[in-house]
Amino acid sequence: MVKAHGLTEKRLKRRFAGGRHRLILFTDEKWFDIEQSHNHQNDRQWSEEPLALEERIVECTQKPTQVMVWAGVGHRVKTPLFFVEMGIKVNGDVYRDFLRTKVLPWARRTYRGQHWVWQEDGAPSHKAIATRNLVKNIFPEVIDVDISPQRDNGEWPPNSPDLNVMDYSIWSILEAEACAKPHQSIETLKKSLVAAWNKIPQDMIDHAVDDFPKRLKRCIDAEGGHFENK
């Protein structure tokens, strides 16, 4: 179930009608930790008698060691995984430096002069005025986000209702593959994430990208309510 906003999605639909969604590079950040990712559908035990309490508990560390990962996907493209170094707070300055030194060189090598569209959500470091000016300057086309509720002229929904391919598809695929077992350290977690990321087939990504227009239509049809994607 996701929250829809109506007007913002209509702006997106007008702009990306006719298959132009395939030009979008969908980007996002996500925290991964060294603990095993639990699928509650798999946490089942069959028994004729009730199990003891300790056998029915799934233990988790209160604050497991984590690493932040940045990645992006589009039709026929997939960025490398980029990791944020431990202890670094991703503020506007850090994020803009990352865009200049990591993302821009990758994009130039990958797109080779082709026209494409940059997408990101409304995280604080993303919607800073300096960041909005930078992305519009270095990328061919940008889906804008609101820098304040008063303006309400952005094209990407402020709460990003499951329209980002990374959110509704790719992150869960990566987590299921890389975090099926607990890791002893951040370094082993990183290696597992990179290996799993490299194994995700491009045709699977392309299929997820092609689901974007259908989700966008459901957001618009919901007119600010909730919808369930089927």
Read off the pLDDT of residues 144-167 as tens digits, 9 standing for 90 and up: 988 776 666 788 887 766 899 999
* Domain presence at residue 165: yes
Tally of structural domains, the chain: 1
The answer to whether position 123 is within a domain reads yes
Give the pTM. 0.84
**What does the pLDDT average to over 47-64?**
56
Average pLDDT over residues 15-20: 82
Q: Is the pLDDT of residue 135 over 50?
A: yes
Which of the four pLDDT bands, split at 50, 70 and 90, describes residue 62?
A: low
Buried b (16+ CB within 10 A) or exposed e, 180-201: eeebeebeebbebbeebbeebe
Q: Is the pLDDT of residue 44 over 70?
A: no
Q: Are 25 and 117 in contact (CB under 8 A)?
A: yes
Both tokens assigned to 175: 């987590």
75 has pLDDT over 70: yes
Residue 135 covered by a domain: yes
Place of tokens 């005025």: 129
- Residue 42 lies inside a defined structural domain of this protein: no
Query: Would you say residue 133 lies in a domain?
Result: yes
Contact (Cβ atoms closer than 8 angstroms) between residue 161 and residue 3:
yes
What tokens does 128 get? 């800073």
Q: Please identify which residue in the block is written with the tokens 């095993």.
A: 36
Domain that holds residue 119: 2-34+63-227
> What is the overall mean pLDDT for the chain?
85
| pLDDT for 226 beyond 50 | yes
Here the CATH number for the domain that contains residue 154 is 3.30.420.10
CA 62 to chain CA centroid, Å, is: 24
**What 3-state DSSP class applies to 131?**
helix
pLDDT at residue 73 greater than cutoff 60: yes
Strands 77-78 and 24-33: unpaired
Rounded average pLDDT over 182-194:
95
Residue 69 lies in a domain: yes
Is residue 24, in this structure, part of any structural domain at all? yes
Determine, yes or no, domain membership for 46.
no
Instruction: Check pLDDT > 70 for residue 122.
Output: yes
Predicted confidence at residue 154, as pLDDT, reads 80
Whole-angstrom Cα distance, residue 152 to residue 208? 28
